[in-house]
Amino acid sequence: MKKVVFVLTSHEDLGNTGEKTGFWIEEFATPYYALKDKGIEITLASPKGGQPPIDPKSASEDFATPATKRFDTDKETQAILANTVKLEDIQQADYDAIFYPGGHGPLWDLAEDKNSIALIESFYTNNKPVAAVCHAPAVFKNTKGVDGKPLVNGKKVTGFTNSEEEAVQLTSIVPFLVEDMLKNNGGIYSKGQDWAPYAIEDGLLITGQNPASSELVAEMLLKKLN
């Protein structure tokens, strides 16, 4: 049985706005069920362990999808999510791939987390897929390849667009813009229309643009695992 580790943010404060953030539930639920229903064994991890914060906006009816509705009544998965493994206890050798759901939280913690950075580099070096959707490509801010250059340098990538960030009025709140960072790190950045599904793979890297892209990312990851 193939094994995938999902890494979720532990960060819940939306800058200094007084509002809460975390991970975007749809970007977790859709890939989770897509992989689980195909017999993939999934471990959930986060920097602090325990219950990772869910972005309250993502739990609203406006953003409900079949996967989020399934999660809402899925006590078993809710219990697993409440007890995520500490990221420092995750070993690359135990898994076949690593996946990062988005939400704004990763911009603050996972982008700078030493354990996360080391894991991504280790998965990549050991020829295992690394996937991230929406804001989660933020995790590539400090990752390096064996050549010492940014991991995304010269690779096709996507992630939450500057115009999408502008639309949710958080451009001045977030610590950095995903699109700008990927470009600054030498990534060959491309995007689809705002809010439309768009994902791209380049070798072991799989990235998706926004919440609507999470299903595409899951499909690409499944193909790689098979």
Q: Helix/strand/coil (H, E, C) string of 69-101? A: HHHHCCHHHHHHHCCEEEHHHCCHHHCCEEEEC
pLDDT value of position 156: 98
Distance (Å, whole) CA 222 – CA 226? 6
pLDDT value of position 89: 98
How crowded is the C-beta side of 56, counted as CA atoms within 13 Å?
6
Q: Which H/E stretch holds residue 7? A: strand 3-7
pLDDT value of position 142: 98
Q: Distance from first CA to last CA of the chain, Å, rounded?
A: 11
Tokens 């913690």 correspond to 109
Low-confidence ranges of the chain (pLDDT < 70): none
Tokens 């219950």 correspond to 51
Which residue type sits at 149? K
In three-state secondary structure terms, 126 is: coil
Following CA atoms 77, 82, 83, 85 in sequence, which dihedral angle do they give, to the nearest 10 degrees? 90
| Residues 116, 151 contacting (CB under 8 angstroms) | no
pLDDT value of position 160: 98
pLDDT value of position 175: 98
